[in-house]
Chain A
Amino acid sequence: MNRESTDNRSEAWLQTSRHGDPDAFGKLVEKYQREVYGLILRLTHNEALADDLTQETFLSAWQKLSGFREISSLRSWLLTIALNKVRSYWRWKKLRNWLSLGSVQNEQGQTLEETIPDLSRKADPASVFEDANFEDHFQTSLSKLPVRQREVIGLRAQGLNIDEIACVLKMAEGTVKAHIFHAKEKLQEKMEIKA
Chain B
Amino acid sequence: MNDDDLVKLLKVQKPEAFWNRQKNSILFRLPSRRRLPRRTWTLAPAFAAALTALFIWKYQSQAPEPVPSAELQESTPLQIPPAQDWSLLEKLDLLENMDAVLPPHQEKS
Please list the residues of chain A having a beta carbon within 8 angstroms of any beta carbon in chain B: 20, 22, 25-26, 29-30, 33-34, 37-38, 41-42, 51, 54-55, 58-59, 62-63, 65-66, 124-127, 129-130, 138, 142, 153-154, 156-157, 159, 184, 187-188
Contacts and interface: CB of A to CB of B under 8 A. Distances in A.
B1 A22 contact: no
Given A51-B22, A54-B22, A187-B1, A22 B15 contact: no
A38 B3 contact: no
Contact of B6 (A34, A54, A184): A184
B32 A20 contact: yes
Interface stretch (B23-31, B52-60, B88-96, B99-107): B23-31
B43 interface: no
- Chain B, interface SS category: helix
Given A55-B22, A157-B7, A159-B7, A126 B33 contact: no
B108 interface: no
Nearest to A58: B26
- Chain A, interface SS category: helix
Interface of B: 1, 3, 6-7, 9-15, 18-19, 22-23, 25-27, 29-34
A153 B10 contact: yes
Given A25-B27, A59-B29, A38 B11 contact: yes
A25 B12 contact: no
Contacts of B19: 30, 33-34
Contact of A62 (B3, B12, B15, B33): B33
Given A37-B12, A51-B22, A156 B3 contact: yes
Contact of B15 (A124, A153, A157): A124
Nearest to B34: A20
A63 B30 CA distance: 9
